[in-house]
Amino acid sequence: MTLPTTVVRGVESALEDHTGKTVRIDSATPVGGGCINPSAKVITDSGEGYFLKWNPTSPPEMFHAEVDGLKALKDPGVLKVPEVVDSAGSGTPEDPAWLLMEFIPPGRPDSHYGRRLGEGLAALHSSAAPPNDVHGDTPFFGWHRANFIGSLPQQNDKSEDWIRFWRDLRLEPQLKMARDRGHFTGPDGRTMEDLLSRLDEVMAGSEKGGPALLHGDLWSGNFYADSSGSPVLIDPAVYRGVGEVDLAMMELFGSFPRGFREGYSEKRKWAPEYDAFRRDLYQLYYLLVHVNLFGGSYVAGSMAAAERALAY
């Protein structure tokens, strides 16, 4: 495939800085599976492979935020995460934004894959808990910067109050966006308001175990097995929250890989409230995001999640 000229120039120059050698891109092969950006495996004239994605219309902050998130997930060293080479471009058709990273070839999950993913995710969630607070002494929910969930903005203002964080920075903004697009009017809207006004009561005690470092967008397309069968994490929307948020996203459109739950719960407490109703509260955020990204077919699922949480 042909890459945009400015991307080729930027990538070659970044690789020269990275490797200390003159680098030319020999070939680029499309990689499927992403939701937002065109992507490719590029091979250099010295035979090295890298993963490249680019976008001619989205703001470069999207990739800058992803770089920040990938580094944060890689830092604790508990799960495999691609190493970032560079990101640049202004996000216009003439100068698309791009992100270049290590290419980690996909393979087949081995028999320990699910358990290792569970143990690794639990370790990741525990890695940001106090006292390992790299951003200061006071534990907080949120992150040092805003980022994106899919292509939608995700605010991460620091807060010591998890329930307020979940209401004000997760559910409410997505609900407002959905309402601006004509969804959640009438009785549906009243149910959502009812849930938001009762969140203190419904979520009481939910902050235990936080703040944890979250992947933030852990659907099944954002983790895979490498060629040795071990789990790899990609494409995060990182912040500090409650680990159950990642679990809920993993379960939203599928089920945990075999052995995952055992691996996770060996390392971190698995609260019965998660299975009882908190999964619904956390999935509700992602369902509202889907309403805003993909339309009204996710409204019924959002209502069902809100009603289950309220009924508990």
Catalytic residue numbers, as ranges = 217
Measured CA distances, 10 to 52, 66, 184 (Å): 11, 18, 45
Residue 18 to residue 135: CA distance in whole angstroms? 28
By CB under 6 A, the count of residues binding ligand ADP is: 17
Told to check if 142 binds ligand ADP by CB under 6 A, we report no
Give the orientation angle of helix 244-252 with respect to helix 279-294, to 10 degrees.
60
Measured CA distances, 59 to 38, 222, 280 (Å): 15, 21, 32
Q: Exactly one of 6, 39, 174, 230 binds ligand ADP (CB under 6 A); which one?
A: 39
Q: Measured from the CB of residue 54, what is the shortest distance to ligand ADP in angstroms?
A: 10
Beta carbons of 240 and 142 less than 8 angstroms apart: yes
Residue 260 to residue 111: CA distance in whole angstroms? 11
Told to check if 235 binds ligand ADP by CB under 6 A, we report yes
The window from 30-38, 115-123, 138-146, 174-182 that contacts ligand ADP (CB under 6 A) reads 30-38
Q: Return the sign of the alpha-carbon dihedral for residues 98, 104, 107, 108.
A: negative
Residue 240 host element (H or E): strand 239-241
The window from 26-34, 119-127, 192-200, 239-247 that contacts ligand ADP (CB under 6 A) reads 26-34
Q: Which amino acid is at 191?
A: T
Told to check if 253 binds ligand ADP by CB under 6 A, we report no
Q: Exactly one of 26, 27, 34, 176 binds ligand ADP (CB under 6 A); which one?
A: 34
Q: Measured from the CB of residue 96, what is the shortest distance to ligand ADP in angstroms?
A: 13
Residue 296 to residue 49: CA distance in whole angstroms? 40
**Of 74 and 267, CB closest to ligand ADP:** 74
Measured CA distances, 298 to 95, 164, 174, 185 (Å): 35, 24, 13, 15
Told to check if 289 binds ligand ADP by CB under 6 A, we report no
The window from 9-17, 28-36, 185-193, 298-306 that contacts ligand ADP (CB under 6 A) reads 28-36
Count of Cβ atoms closer than 10 Å to residue 161 Cβ: 13
Beta carbons of 260 and 223 less than 8 angstroms apart: no
Q: Exactly one of 84, 104, 218, 225 binds ligand ADP (CB under 6 A); which one?
A: 104
**Of 71 and 269, CB closest to ligand ADP:** 71
Told to check if 37 binds ligand ADP by CB under 6 A, we report yes
Told to check if 293 binds ligand ADP by CB under 6 A, we report no
User: Could you list the residues that contact ligand ADP (CB under 6 A)?
Assistant: 31, 33-37, 39, 51, 53, 82, 101-104, 221, 234-235
